[in-house]
Amino acid sequence: MELYLVTDEAACLGRDFFWVVEEAVKGGVTMVQLREKALSANAFIDKAKRLKELLAPYKVPLIINDSVEVALACDADGIHVGQSDMPFHELKNRFPAGRIIGISAETRENVQEAEAWNISYLALSPLFATPSKMDTGNPWGMNGISWAKRNSRHPLLVIGGLSRHNTREAILNGADGIAVISAICSSPSPYEAAKELGSIIAASKSGI
């Protein structure tokens, strides 16, 4: 989950959605979350199945946002939900053990509550205010990452306003990975954008 792509068809600026995702994966994206807010269940499932096939040869896990039904129907590698979307115990009961479960945390209380859960990662949301998602709570900011690092045992992802300009600082403050929409989906070259973010992450982690 070092370089985690969250999809948003509108952010692809009219280019083919599957082309954008494949370029990003070739550039080094390590996990892809299909996030669809407006599709019918059937259309969401069809898109998820096609994306799963596209990702399989690259061995990049597919995560489904919010819908257990879609995640099961496409045999996704994991699911991501916000803490307010579904109680964790319900999610655990409805989703097969052993798969990836990612949870967003919007507050310090969310982080503390998640300590009791067996999850694969916790995503601090949003790190910064972003036009890609308007209905967010207060941004965590860089200090929020170091607080969460001290108070959480889970791998930490950060999402919201991440770009080549602040990825290094986010990693140095304790993020294990970054999740982006626009920095990759809206880039003139999703391939180059992913490649650059991936090298920034690798360099920051190895102390370069």
Binding residues: 33-37, 65-66, 85, 104, 130-133, 161, 181-182
- 73/48 Cα distance (integer angstroms): 9
Which of 30, 67, 125, 152: binder of ligand TZP (CB under 6 A)? 125
Active site residue 104: yes
- 174/167 Cα distance (integer angstroms): 11
Q: Draw the binding track, 71-100, toward Mg ion (x: CB under 5 A; -: no contact).
A: -----------x--x---------------
Our finding on whether 66 is near Mg ion (CB under 5 A) is: yes
Please report the beta strands in the chain, taking only residues with DSSP state E, as ranges in sequence order: 3-6, 31-34, 62-65, 78-82, 100-105, 121-124, 156-159, 177-180
CB of 42 or CB of 108, closer to ligand TZP:
108
- 40/29 Cα distance (integer angstroms): 27
CB of 48 or CB of 53, closer to ligand TZP:
48
Which among 163, 165, 203, 204 has a CA at the least distance from the CA of 184?
Answer: 163
CB of 85 or CB of 90, closer to Mg ion:
85
Which among 62, 69, 17 has a CA at the least distance from the CA of 42?
Answer: 69
Our finding on whether 126 is near ligand TZP (CB under 6 A) is: yes
Report the site for ligand TZP in 4-33 (rule: CB under 6 A): 6
CB-CB neighbours of 87 under 10 Å? 11
Residues that bind ligand TZP (CB under 6 A): 6, 125-126, 130, 132-133, 136, 159-162, 180-183
